[in-house]
Amino acid sequence: MNLVLMENLQRYYGTGNGGVTVKALDGIDLKILPGEFVAIMGASGSGKTTLMNIMGCLDLPTNGKYFLEGIDVTTLNPDQIAEIRNLKIGFVFQSFNLLPRTTALENVELPLLYRRNGQSTRAIRDHAKEALSRVGLEDRMDHVPSQLSGGQQQRVAIARALVNRPSLILADEPTGNLDTEMSLEIMTLFQELHGSGITIVMVTHEPDIARFAERKVVVRDGKILQDGPIPNPARAEEVLKRFREEHTL
């Protein structure tokens, strides 16, 4: 079954008051299978974030259908949408969006506290620790964001996105605030997660980052201009290794 199925999806902004209508999305047909690693590319203003917001159930289309794991999201009420989002989606943002005076561990615990499901405080802590270990930060759990590098902060954000075991990770420009080495570390992690079966959809402006995905979707003026496999995705781990060799004496 498709994890994501969008049919003739449109998102128009500013239809009120006789003003100009912006067709942020204008007839999107998109299918994503479980386990895919997709890069979404396109110029500024082409509709990438609008598309991610709808995919992540943060926003609804003006017209058209969106099915997430077979569920017609456009028929749900706001509480049901919030629940689906918490259960099925993990978000990673360009600006990390961590709580500043809160440790890495507490930041990762937050999504679990929102939907406690009868879990003990201890179980929540253990889950969060496991997610942080998965991103290689077991020795930084008690650090607050200002005590972490940008790449480490983004790894905390990825652990937070993973902790609910979502069906889909959505990352909007995850390397936009990171230098080359940190970007390659994040791509190494994404490829590891992808290798373990996690579905990732990532927006990026940079062809150097998109080449680590397995499929490229190009958006222009709210439409899909191009959609196809990336023949030989680069191995981030190897590119990172080479980069470090060239940049250390």
Question: Which residue carries 């290794």 as its tokens?
Answer: 241
CB 192 → ligand ATP: shortest distance, Å?
A: 26
Q: What are phi and psi of 228, to 5 degrees?
A: -170, 170
Q: How many CA atoms lie within 13 A of 160 on its CB side?
A: 27
Interface with ligand ATP in residues 39-58 (CB under 6 A)? 42, 44-50
Q: Enumerate the H helices of 26-77 as residue ranges.
A: 48-55
CB 59 → ligand ATP: shortest distance, Å?
A: 9
Residues in the interface with ligand ATP (CB under 6 A) total 12
Among 25, 38, 49, 198, binds Mg ion (CB under 5 A): 49
Stretch that binds Mg ion, among 47-55, 60-68, 137-145, 226-234 (CB under 5 A): 47-55
CB 134 → ligand ATP: shortest distance, Å?
A: 28
Give the E-state strand segments of the chain in sequence order. Answer: 4-13, 22-32, 37-41, 63-68, 71-72, 89-93, 168-172, 199-203, 215-220, 223-229
Q: Closer CB to ligand ATP, residue 44 or residue 232?
A: 44
Write the single-letter amino acid at 174: P
Task: Report the distance separating Cα 169 and Cα 190, nearest Å.
Answer: 10
CB 44 → ligand ATP: shortest distance, Å?
A: 3
Q: Closer CB to Mg ion, residue 54 or residue 240?
A: 54
- Binding pattern for the stretch 3-42 against ligand ATP, x by CB under 6 A and - elsewhere: ----------xx-------x-x-----------------x
